Amino acid sequence: MGRTVAEVIRDTTRHHLTHNHGLFLGQCVTAVGWIGGTVPAMSEAEGIVELSLADVTNAGIAVGAALAGRRPIYTVRYQGFMWYNAAPIVNYAAKSKDVWGVPCPVFLRAIAMEGNGIGPVASASQHGLIMRMPGMPVCAPMSPNEWTEAWNWFMRHDDPLYVSEHRRSFTIDYEFENRIEPEADITLFPISAARLNAVEAAKALRQEGIICNIQHLMWLKPFTVTDEMRGSLSRTKLGLVIDSDFEIGGPSRSMAYDLMHQSGAPVFALGLEDRSAGVAESLDNPTPTPERIVRVIRQLVRSGRNVPAGATIE
Amino acid sequence: MKSELEQRTPAFGLISDVANTFSNDYARKLFAQTCFNHFFEFEVKKAYDRGLMKLPIYLSVGQEHIPAAIASVFADCLIFAQHRAHSVYLSFGGDPRQLIDELLSRPTGCARGMGGSASIHSPEIGMFGHSGLMGDQVPIAVGAALGAGKPVLTVMGDASAEEDYIYGALGFAVTKKLPVLFVCEDNDLSILTRTPVRRSWTLCGLAQGLGLPAVDITDDPWLIAHHVKQFSLQLPAVINIRTCRGLWHAGSGCDGPPEWDRFALIKDTMKMLGLERDALAIESDTERAVQNLWVEQLRKS
Ligand SMILES: Cc1ncc(C[n+]2csc(CCOP(=O)(O)OP(=O)(O)O)c2C)c(N)n1
Ligand SMILES: [Mg+2]
C-alpha cells in the first residue's frame, strides 16, 4: 500500500519546512486533527504559523511571505472561504510577476468539503473563482502522485499555484487511470471529487450497456486538450465535464467549450446547481452524485445527442 | 470642542525645539531630499499639463517631506507604500530616471510601463509595487516582515486605514512582534471626502487598543524623524501623520491653498537653525538639477 494523499502532503510539508526554509500558514492548524492529518506536528519555530481568523489579512500575509522568498504553503481550510481570501491572491500574488517581474510563489491549498451538514457556508470547490483571473495556474489533485506533481511544479516554477484539494482525497492511496474503450458512448471529464462519483456512475451505467470513457482532469488552468481527449471525443462524439464547483459561469462550462471547439463534438457540463445549499441532507448541493451523473448521461446518450450543446441538462 | 479627528494644525503633537536635537548636517540633507521630491513632483505636473502622460498621476505635493524624514532615520528595510508614492521611491534611493520613464509609459520605466504612477517599485531599494487596492500593502508588508525577519515600512493613507484588513494586519504584527513601522499619511481626505464624514475613531486609538505603540502628530519632518527613530527600537509601531495634500487626488489641479504649507514652514525652521543661506542654495541647486534631469530624460525617445 502506498501513502495516502494526506500522508504525502504532511511529509512534503515537513520536508519543505525542514530543508527549504519554507513556511506553513493557516488557521487553527495545531488543533482538531491537524487539518485532516495533512500538517506535520511541528512548532511555530519550525515554520508552522498559526494565523488569526482575519481571512483577507491572512491571504495578504501569505503574499508578503512569498515576496520575502519563503514559498509559503497557505492553507484555506474550507474552500468557500476563498471569497474572502481571493482578493490579495488574485490582485497581488497572481499579478506580481506580470506587473513588476517580481515572483510571488504561494502554494495555496484550498480544501473543499461536503456533506455532514456543512450546508451553505463553506462547502463546494471554488476553483472557478481563481481560474477566471490571469496569473495563477489551478489544479485539483486527487491522488498521491497528482499532489506530488502539483508540488513539484510549484517548486520548479516561481508562480503562485492554486491547489483545489478535496477532503475526500485525503484517504486515497491509489492512482486514477483514464479509461478508453473502442465502443464507448460518451467521454467523461470529471474534476476533483466528481472523479470518484464519475467512476461509480460509469460502473452502474455499464450494467445498462452504456459505456463511458473517462479522462481524469487534474490541471484546470492552463487546460490542455490532449490528443487522447480529442481521440476519445472523435469516437464517442459526445462528452460531459463534471465538476465539484458551480456549473453556471464555472469551470465545467468553460472547459466544455474548449473541448467542443477542439474536437467538434458536443460536450456538456455538469456541476453544482445554481442554488444555495441547505444544512439538511435533502437540501444540500453537493458534487454531482453518482445517481445524478447516471441520470444525465442516460438522458444524453438516449436522446441521440439531440440536446443542444450548452443547454442545461436534466 | 473639536473632535480628535478635526484637530488639524501644523503644531499638532509638536515637540518644541525638536529640530535642535538633530545636527545641521542632518537638516541640510533632509531639506535637500525634501526639495528633490518637491521639485520632482512639480516637473511631473508640468509634463502632465503638457499632455505628455496618458495615465492618472498621484502627486505627493504637500506630503513630499514625510518619506524624506522617514528615510533619513529608517534605512535597510523593505518598503510597501500605496498609490501616492513618488516621494517614497525617491527618498529611499529609487532611480528618478526610471520613475520618469514609468510616468511616460516607456518600457524602460521602473515597472516597464505596467505600473504607472500608482504602482511603482524598485527591487534595488526593496520597494514593492502597489496593486491599486487601497491598503492591501499593509497585510502584505506584515507577511514580508514575518518572512524576511527584517524591518519593514508600510505607508497607507487615512482612508486606506479604514480597510478591514488593516485591523487584522496590526493585530497579527503585534501578536507576533513583527518589525513593522506602520505610517499613515493622514491628509484627511479619501479623494474628496473628509475623515470625520467617514469615521469617528482614530488610527492611533485602534492601534493602542491592540497594544501597539502609536503617535498622532503633525507633519513636521524633524518631529517625524524623532518618533521614527524611537519607534524603530520598539516595532511594531504606528505613526499617524496629519498632513495636507497640495493638489488634486489624481491629476495636477488645485482646489486652493492647503491648510498649512509645510514646505514654507520647513524653510522657516532652516532659518531658525541658522541655515537660511544653505537652504536657499540647496533649494535653487536642487530645482535646477531636477529640471535638468527631466529635460535630459524627456529628450530621450
Ligand atoms: C479597495 C479599494 N477601494 C477603493 C478604491 C478607490 N480609491 C482610490 S484612492 C482612494 C482614496 C485613498 O485615500 P487615502 O488612503 O487616504 O490616500 P490618499 O489618496 O489620500 O493619499 C480610493 C477610495 C481603491 N482603489 N481600492
Ligand atoms: Mg487620504
pLDDT tens digits, residue range A130-186? Answer: 999 999 999 999 999 999 999 999 999 999 999 999 999 999 999 999 999 999 999
Q: How far is A105 from chain B (nearest CA, A)?
A: 13
State yes or no: cis peptide before B236, omega within 30 of 0.
yes
Q: What CATH number did the domain enclosing A247 receive?
A: 3.40.50.920
Q: Which atom belonging to ligand 1 lies closest to the Cα atom of B136?
A: 1
pLDDT classification of A199: cutoffs 50, 70, 90? very high
pLDDT classification of A239: cutoffs 50, 70, 90? very high
- Check residue A237 and give its pLDDT: 96
Query: Which SS3 state, helix, strand or coil, does residue A124 take?
Result: coil
Q: Identify whether A279 is part of a domain.
A: yes
Q: What CATH number did the domain enclosing A154 receive?
A: 3.40.50.970
- Check residue B162 and give its pLDDT: 98
- How do residues A132-142 score in pLDDT, each as one tens digit? 999 999 999 99
Tell me: do A120 and A204 sit in the same domain.
no
Mind listing the pLDDT tens digit of every residue in chain B (301 residues)? 788 898 999 999 999 999 999 999 999 999 999 999 999 999 999 999 999 999 999 999 999 999 999 999 999 999 999 999 999 999 999 999 999 999 999 999 999 999 999 999 999 999 999 999 999 999 999 999 999 989 999 999 999 999 999 999 999 999 999 999 999 999 999 999 999 999 999 999 999 999 999 999 999 999 999 999 999 999 999 999 999 999 999 999 999 999 999 999 999 999 999 999 999 999 999 999 999 999 999 999 7
Q: Identify whether A313 is part of a domain.
A: no
Q: Identify whether A277 is part of a domain.
A: yes
Q: Which residues lie across from B242 on neighbouring strands? A: B186, B218
Q: Identify whether A178 is part of a domain.
A: no
Which of B286, B300, B285 has the alpha carbon at shortest distance from B97? Answer: B300
Tell me: do A299 and A226 sit in the same domain.
yes
Q: How many domains is chain A partitioned into structurally?
A: 2
Q: Identify whether A174 is part of a domain.
A: no
- Ligand 1: which of B88, B191, B240 to mutate, most ligand atoms within 8 Å of CB? B191
- Check residue B58 and give its pLDDT: 98
Tell me: do A74 and A106 sit in the same domain.
yes
Q: Concatenated DSSP letters for A231-257? A: HHHHHH--EEEEEEEESTTSHHHHHHH
pLDDT classification of A304: cutoffs 50, 70, 90? low
- How do residues B38-59 score in pLDDT, each as one tens digit? 999 999 999 999 999 999 999 9
Tell me: do A29 and A105 sit in the same domain.
yes
pLDDT classification of A1: cutoffs 50, 70, 90? low
Interface contact A54, partner B, CB < 8 A: yes
Tell me: do A139 and A17 sit in the same domain.
yes
Q: Identify whether B28 is part of a domain.
A: yes
Poorest-pLDDT segment among A112-116, A138-142, A232-236, B216-220:
A112-116
Separation of first and last alpha carbons in chain B: 57
- Check residue A118 and give its pLDDT: 74
- Average pLDDT score, chain A: 94
Tell me: do A163 and A190 sit in the same domain.
no
CB contact under 8 A, B123 and A52: no
Q: Identify whether B3 is part of a domain.
A: no
Q: What CATH number did the domain enclosing B55 receive?
A: 3.40.50.970
- Ligand 1: which of B5, B58, B87, B134 to mutate, most ligand atoms within 8 Å of CB? B134
Q: Which residues line ligand 1 (CB under 6 A)?
A: B 84, 132-134, 156-160, 185, 187, 189-191, 249
Residue A71 has pLDDT above 90, yes or no: yes
Going by C-beta distance under 8 Å and a sequence separation of 6 or more, which residues neighbour residue A221? A130, A131, A136, A137, A138, A139
| pLDDT greater at residue A306 or residue B192 | B192
Q: Identify whether B290 is part of a domain.
A: yes
Residue of chain B with shortest Cα separation from A91:
B131
Task: Evaluate whether ipTM surpasses 0.90.
Answer: yes
Distance, in Å, from the CA atom of B196 to the CA atom of A200, rounded to the nearest integer, reads 61
Interface contact A291, partner B, CB < 8 A: no
Q: Identify whether B243 is part of a domain.
A: yes
> Is the distance from CB of B119 to CB of B149 less than 8 angstroms?
no
Tell me: do A16 and A130 sit in the same domain.
yes
Q: Identify whether B14 is part of a domain.
A: no
Does an H or E element contain B143, and which? helix B137-148
Q: Which residues lie across from B135 on neighbouring strands? A: none
Q: Identify whether B5 is part of a domain.
A: no
pLDDT classification of A228: cutoffs 50, 70, 90? very high
* Domain around A26: 5-169
Q: How many domains is chain B partitioned into structurally?
A: 1
Tell me: do A165 and A217 sit in the same domain.
no
Residue ID of nearest Cα to ligand 1 atom 13? B190
Q: Which residues lie across from A163 on neighbouring strands? A: A109, A139
pTM, to two decimals: 0.96
Q: Identify whether B287 is part of a domain.
A: yes
Nearest 5°: the CA angle A59, A64, A70 is 105
Tally A–B CB contacts below 8 A: 115
Tell me: do A162 and A222 sit in the same domain.
no
* Domain around B237: 24-299
Distance, in Å, from the CA atom of B69 to the CA atom of B79, rounded to the nearest integer, reads 15
B165 vs A51, A57, A102: nearest CB: A57
> Which 8-state DSSP code applies to residue A191?
B
Please, which contacts does B108-115 make with residues 24 or more away whose CB atoms are closer than 8 Å?
B111/A99, B111/A100, B112/A101, B114/A98, B114/A99, B114/A100, B115/A99, B115/A100
> Is the distance from CB of B112 to CB of A99 less than 8 angstroms?
no
Q: Identify whether A311 is part of a domain.
A: no
Q: Identify whether B159 is part of a domain.
A: yes
Residue of chain A with shortest Cα separation from B132:
A91
Tell me: do A299 and A238 sit in the same domain.
yes
Chain B residues near residue A65 by CB distance under 8 angstroms: 143-144, 146-147
State mean pLDDT over A7-27: 98
Tell me: do A138 and A281 sit in the same domain.
no
A68 vs B132, B148, B164: nearest CB: B148
